[in-house]
Amino acid sequence: MNKTLIEIKDLHVNASEKEILKGINLKINKGEIHVIMGPNGSGKSTTANAILNNPEYTKTQGSIVYEGEDISNLKTDEIARKGIFMSFQLPEEIPGISVTNFLKYAKNKITGEPVKIFKFKEELKKYMEELNMNPKYMERSLNVGFSGGEKKKNEILQMLVLNPKLAILDETDSGLDVDAIRTVSKGIEMFKNDENAVLIITHNNKILHSLKVDYVHVLVDGKIVTTGGQDLATEIENEGYGKYKIL
């Protein structure tokens, strides 16, 4: 039996005084993979940022209830510690902080428990192998000098290590070649279980060729205009968003 993990109700969000989201409704149960698709500028990334309460965006109406608690006014780090993770479209570079030290520190902040370094490094190594990442990256500064593909894999690595309940992947597949997309899909499959959920935000559906999803939502001009299954993604791949823009 499915249980609600997060429910977004009538969410309106402004960015620089302009209304971007105009009433989003979305319910995600544990064990589900959801996809939000939509043309550029429709508000996909804004949805992800609003859930994490990025201060660049202002919520003007609506609520985000996560595990029975309205989290819409919590600080980003509090939301993260409750188990929500976001993979960034453009991950930031942190010179002088190695991937290992960063993740160890973040893991400690999220779990509130000391991290056992040996076991932690073994776990990290294992995940990096699965994601075809060079283990040397463990000691490199976070994202500094990483290629676009390496940065995205590093986001998936962070998701696996931090093991959130809700993983939001914002355009994680964009700019990746077929092999890298397959690796990302593999990462999602490794992560996924009956107790967590994934929200994939994408403007193309290549990633859906190698991943089975439960729901596809089409977002146009700040509203979800239709929801369907995997076949909706196929329809959009063939016909584009034209039909929904008219609505």
Partner 1 sequence: MSKTKIEEFDRSIYNLKNKDNYDYKIQKGITKEIIEEISNQKNDPDWMRDFRLEALEVYNKLELPTWGPDLSELNMDEIATYVRPKTKLNNSWDDVPEDIKNTFYKLGIPEAEKKSLAGVGAQYDSEVVYHSMKDDLKKQGVIYTDMETAIREYPDIVKKYFMKCVPVNDHKFVALHGAVWSGGSFVYVPKNVKVDIPLQSYFRLNSPESGQFEHTLIIVEEGASLHFIEGCSAPKYSKINLHAGCVELIVKDNAYLRYSTIENWSKNMLNLNTKKAMIGKNAQVDWVTGSFGSKISMLYPLSQLNGEGAKTEYTGISFAGKGQNLDTGFKAIHNAPNTSSVVNAKSISKNGGKCTYRSLIKISPKAKNSKSSVSCESLMLDDISVSDTIPVNDIQTDEVEFSHEAKIGKISDKTIFYLMSRGLSEEDAKAMIVRGFAYPISKELPVEYAVEMNNLINIELQGTIG
Binding site for partner 1 (CB under 8 A): 52, 54-56, 75-77, 79-81, 85-86, 88, 91-92, 94-97, 101-102, 104-106, 109-110, 117, 141, 158, 162
- Residue 52 or 64 having the CB closest to partner 1: 52
Return the SS3 of 45. helix
Closest approach of Cβ 67 to partner 1, in Å? Answer: 17
> DSSP label at 1?
-
- Residue 170 or 232 having the CB closest to partner 1: 170
Closest approach of Cβ 93 to partner 1, in Å? Answer: 8
- Residue 2 or 108 having the CB closest to partner 1: 108
Q: Which residue has the tokens 């976001």?
A: 86
Report the distance separating Cα 24 and Cα 51, nearest Å: 12
Q: H or E segment at 14?
A: strand 4-15
Report the distance separating Cα 206 and Cα 180, nearest Å: 11
Closest approach of Cβ 160 to partner 1, in Å? Answer: 13
Closest approach of Cβ 182 to partner 1, in Å? Answer: 26
Report the distance separating Cα 28 and Cα 170, nearest Å: 16
- Residue 86 or 224 having the CB closest to partner 1: 86
- Residue 32 or 170 having the CB closest to partner 1: 170
Report the distance separating Cα 97 and Cα 140, nearest Å: 8
Closest approach of Cβ 232 to partner 1, in Å? Answer: 29
Provide the residue count of the chain.
Answer: 247
Report the distance separating Cα 33 and Cα 189, nearest Å: 10
